[in-house]
């Protein structure tokens, strides 16, 4: 046997060279170390929100208005902000859900890889990555500057623009998962194109579409930047809801119609929201407001995380059953 063969033959039984095993071992340690450090902020965030927020979390906090500063024996809370957030998310949904689903249908059903669909998809993806503060500036430019008023309408519009691309893209994904047999069966029975889409394909994809809407709602509920200078904030009940309450109480028809007429105007007034409340209370110099900021964060994150996890679970179950 030649010496070179013998040499390489022995090499097979040698352990990995020191240099190579050091490289492999040390990189494993580095990767795990970095991942562990990356998890630290998340764990710290969740634990702080729970420990700091839970102390103040009482029923009265959820159902009462913010108390004036320095008053001791008045119940203090942020019910108006919870309702304001819900109101604006609702306004956003009115606008974003139908348009988002329509855009999703165009992307998935009407022109899958046509030029028009590609332009649409591209602008939807770009729209979804526009910073939310720019969306706020946009709503400020078209609604606040023209009406000269900070309003729930402007806030809701901004949130709607943020929700729209999320809904469109998740609807597209949802529709793509529906098997072609559904469409074939429907058209074989004589259904037209839109009948097939709206009565067969869309209902079959509904759980996944709802998931997308939930994700978008969770995202919009936590947005702050576009609300800072569109909806601003206030210490009172959102006027819309106050008027709605009066509408329910109104016994005479005259009073009823009078309140009904005032309803649209109530949307054009400053409206509180959870996220803006957290922002202003976090920077407040008063300890009790700081504490309330943590409680509000707990409530908000509860809402957002539960929606998020639920929607992911729904999608997973939905996919597994297929």
Q: Is 313 in the site for another protein (CB under 8 A)?
A: no
- Tell me if 192 contacts another protein by CB under 8 A: yes
Torsion of CA 197, 202, 205, 211, to 10 degrees: 140
* Contacts with another protein, 250-269, as mask; x by CB under 8 A: --------------------
Q: Which is nearer to another protein, 55 or 131 (CB)?
A: 131
Should residue 8 be labelled a site residue for another protein when binding is judged by CB under 8 A?
no
Region 213-232 residues binding another protein, contact defined as CB under 8 A: 218-219, 221-225, 228-229, 232
Integer Cα distance of 71 and 58 in angstroms:
18
Q: 150 Cβ partners below 8 Å, 6+ apart?
A: 144, 229, 230, 231, 232, 269, 270
Looking at beta carbons only, is 176 or 246 nearer to another protein?
A: 176
Residue 291 in tokens: 């504490």
Question: Looking at 57-65, 66-74, 119-127, 248-256, which segment touches another protein (CB under 8 A)?
Answer: 119-127
Nearest-approach distance from CB 250 to another protein, in angstroms: 35
Among the listed ranges 70-78, 86-94, 134-142, 258-266, the one in contact with another protein (CB under 8 A) is: 134-142
Q: Name the residue nearer to another protein (CB basis): 11 or 73.
A: 11
Q: Is 271 in the site for another protein (CB under 8 A)?
A: no
Q: Is the separation of the CB atoms in 280 and 270 below 8 Å?
A: no
Please tell me whether residue 286 binds another protein under the rule CB under 8 A.
Answer: no
Choice from 63, 130, 255, 317 touching another protein (CB under 8 A): 130
Q: Point out which span in 64-72, 164-172, 243-251, 252-260 binds another protein (CB under 8 A).
A: 164-172
Q: Residue 292 interacts with another protein (CB under 8 A)?
A: no
Site for another protein, residues 61 to 90, rule: CB under 8 A: none
Cβ atoms of residues 95 and 107 within 8 Å: no
Give the shortest CB-64-to-another protein separation in angstroms. Answer: 22
Q: Which residues contact 273 (CB under 8 A, 6 or more apart)?
A: 81, 84, 85, 88, 155, 224, 227, 231, 233
Question: Is the Cβ of residue 126 or residue 255 nearer to another protein in the bound state?
Answer: 126
- CA dist., res. 47 & res. 294, Å (int): 12
Q: Tell the smallest beta-carbon distance from residue 70 to another protein (Å).
A: 22
Site for another protein in 16-55 (CB under 8 A): 16, 20-21, 23-24, 27-28, 30-35, 37-39, 41-42, 44-45, 48-49, 52
Q: In the complex with another protein, which residue's Cβ is closer, 168 or 268?
A: 168
């Amino acid at each position: 046997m030649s010496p070179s063969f013998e040499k390489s033959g022995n090499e097979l039984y040698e352990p990995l060279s020191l240099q190579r095993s050091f490289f492999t071992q040390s990189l494993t340690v580095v990767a795990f170390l970095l991942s562990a450090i990356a998890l630290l902020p998340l764990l710290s965030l969740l634990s702080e929100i729970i420990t700091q927020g839970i102390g103040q979390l009482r029923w009265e906090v959820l159902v009462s208005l913010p108390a004036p500063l320095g008053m001791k024996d008045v119940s203090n809370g942020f019910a108006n902000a919870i309702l304001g957030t819900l109101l604006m998310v609702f306004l956003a949904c009115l606008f974003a859900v139908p348009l988002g689903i329509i855009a999703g249908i165009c992307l998935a059903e009407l022109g899958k890889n046509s030029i028009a669909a590609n332009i649409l998809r591209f602008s939807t993806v770009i729209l979804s990555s526009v910073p939310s503060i720019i969306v706020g500036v946009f709503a400020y430019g078209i609604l606040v500057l023209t009406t000269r008023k900070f309003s729930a309408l402007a806030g809701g519009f901004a949130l709607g623009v943020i929700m729209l691309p999320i809904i469109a893209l998740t609807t597209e994904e949802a529709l793509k998962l529906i098997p072609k047999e559904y469409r074939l069966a429907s058209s074989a029975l004589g259904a037209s194109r839109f009948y097939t889409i709206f009565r067969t394909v869309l209902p079959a994809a509904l759980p996944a579409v709802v998931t997308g809407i939930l994700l978008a709602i969770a995202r919009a509920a936590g947005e702050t930047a576009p609300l800072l200078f569109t909806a601003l904030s206030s210490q009172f009940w959102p006027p819309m809801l106050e008027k709605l309450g009066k509408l329910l109480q109104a016994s005479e028809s005259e009073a009823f119609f009078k309140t009904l007429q005032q309803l649209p105007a109530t949307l054009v007034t400053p409206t509180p929201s959870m996220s803006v409340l957290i922002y202003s209370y976090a920077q407040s110099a008063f300890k009790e407001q700081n504490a309330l900021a943590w409680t509000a964060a707990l409530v908000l994150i509860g809402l957002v995380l539960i929606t998020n996890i639920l929607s992911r679970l729904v999608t997973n179950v939905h996919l597994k059953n297929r």
